[in-house]
Amino acid sequence: MSAEKGRSVKLPNRGTPMGVAVMGLMRTGTTLVSDLLTRRGRSLVVSEPNLMGLWDAPLQLKLGRLYREFGLELPALLPKTGEYRTNIEYFDQVVLPELKPLELWGIKCVDLFGWQRLLRIYPPQKLVLCVRDLRAVTISALELVNRMGLVFTDTKRMRDEAWIFARIAYTVQELMALRALPHMVLRYEDLVADPAARDRLAAYCGLDRLGEERLNLAIERETRSGWELAKHGKEITRKALDRYEDEPEGPMRSMAERIWRMFPEYSLAFGYDVPAPKLRIRRHDFCLGPDPGINRIKFQDTEVWNWRGPKQLEPVFGRRRARMIVAANLKPGAVLLDLGCGTAAMRKMLSKASSHLPADVAVRAPLFVTSDIYRGELPPGGEATHVAALGVLEYVDDLEDFLKGLRAYNLPIFVSYYATDDTGDVDRESLGWKNAYRRNELMRMFIAAGFQPAPKWAFDGLQSLFRLIPRQNLARKRPRPRAKIILQGGPRPAAGGKKPAPKAKGKSKKEFEPA
């Protein structure tokens, strides 16, 4: 939560210059740059201190490990609860006096909310903007969210594909505004592949050489630090350069391309491939406005777990809404095989007694099962009791064959689809969709595949959701004869020949209704 709108923060050292500010998109090498600019006894760049946020004790514990490992003399114990209201108060009063004697100190941020105020408090002498091809940023962010288990860190925040989409769009707009300040652009592709780019970084920041330790990475969770070190070791490698090229076709690749097409100004400004004019997305709530200093996306909205997103159709936000309904219709103890899930967000939406089996076309975390889903090669069901394919059908080459594969599970299936009856004005090809079916065509295909479909047509205005029950699994109860009911002590006719009034029936909890 930001401290922008609240009581004034008491800062005795207002206007203290810092040596360098490192700012950029997530997954652009900002943590690596922080470590390269950190050398024991000489320079320290602190990664993500979240100075514009309210007091965060777990964050301060993590940063305390960094400060002590570097060699700063700070109190071993955190202050008492309530002593500091914001992170920046503690930083200014306790940490900053230890940083001032250093040859260079600074901070690194990918959460750019409130950067104008931050840079007024600590004006940087040097500013490094870290960038990367937006398509690679998107695919790499998917892996980060899954490997670190960031999906649904609590009940109020969402870390799914829609959050990634919105956060990248928000940060791009802030970066375009930051370009108005004197800065150095550092492209991730150059940072890891060209030693000369690292030499330019050292010279720009006034260092004779760069650091070699990964102090900022070491304080991260094991789910991140272990994964990064296992991939790259202690060296700077090119292993993450082909993230987008290695991503198979499907909704996640389409999302990455869509973000790239939405911001041609970013690609042009930082030297990346620019989408052809006919491919560019021009009229959208997330696009850059005429004034680069006014962000058209509200940061607070991106953090709301059930934010509906832009008024334009974005499949990742539709998938979020479909997940909410499916999760509400699964009983505790269910085991859900989630086909083409992108992120494991559904895991935190289910009850604690339920299990989640993520499956996609790429390994985004150790628990993921991979197969060529969109070409009909479905993974084994294992212990699953239910299957979900949300935001998947539109990307399937042969939908009839895909439905036959779903029927082979012999389990209840949840699927979503944007029928052409409800999306007549939508350019399906621009979204990467491979097919276009009307409502009646869908129903015929579901029935032909052996399902009894229960639809919720256009439940969010455009998207429909279906529960598909294998027909042979439909249990039909035979009505018992009236005489037998009476013999078993059932309801008898009242005196005078009048039948008792039937009991009012409430809604079943199993009813397939939107949450």
**487-514 per-position pLDDT tens digit:** 343 444 444 455 555 544 444 444 454 4
Instruction: For residue 473, give both structure tokens.
Output: 């699994």
Nearest-angstrom CA–CA distance, 325 and 341: 15
**434-477 per-position pLDDT tens digit:** 999 999 999 999 999 999 999 999 999 999 999 999 998 665 55
Helix or strand (DSSP H, E) at 319: helix 315-328
Q: What is the dihedral of CA 282, 286, 290, 294, to 10 degrees?
A: 180
**315-349 per-position pLDDT tens digit:** 999 999 999 999 999 999 999 999 999 999 999 88
Q: For position 515, what pLDDT does the model report?
A: 35
**Is 166 exposed, middle or buried, given 0-12, 13-18 or 19+ CB atoms closer than 10 A?**
buried
CA atoms within 13 A on the CB side of 175: 30
Question: Residue 304 above 80 pLDDT?
Answer: yes
Number of Cβ atoms within 10 Å of the Cβ of 13 = 13
CB 60 within 8 A of CB 90: yes
CB 134 within 8 A of CB 168: yes
Q: Sort strands 18-24 and 124-131 into parallel, antiparallel or unpaired.
A: parallel
Number of Cβ atoms within 10 Å of the Cβ of 3 = 20
pTM score over 0.85:
yes
Phi/psi zone of residue 149: left (φ > 0), alpha (ψ -120 to 50 degrees), beta?
Answer: left
Of 24-38, 76-90, 495-509, the poorest mean pLDDT is in 495-509
Q: For position 150, what pLDDT does the model report?
A: 74
Nearest-angstrom CA–CA distance, 471 and 448: 11
Nearest-angstrom CA–CA distance, 213 and 44: 11
| Band (5; pLDDT cuts 50, 70, 90) | very low
CB 133 within 8 A of CB 25: no
**177-222 per-position pLDDT tens digit:** 999 999 999 999 999 999 999 999 999 999 999 999 999 999 998 8
- List Cα–Cα distances, 294 to 183, 327, 408, in angstroms: 20, 37, 52
470 phi/psi in degrees, rounded to 5: -55, 130
Q: Sort strands 369-370 and 413-417 into parallel, antiparallel or unpaired.
A: unpaired
Three-class SS state of 53:
strand
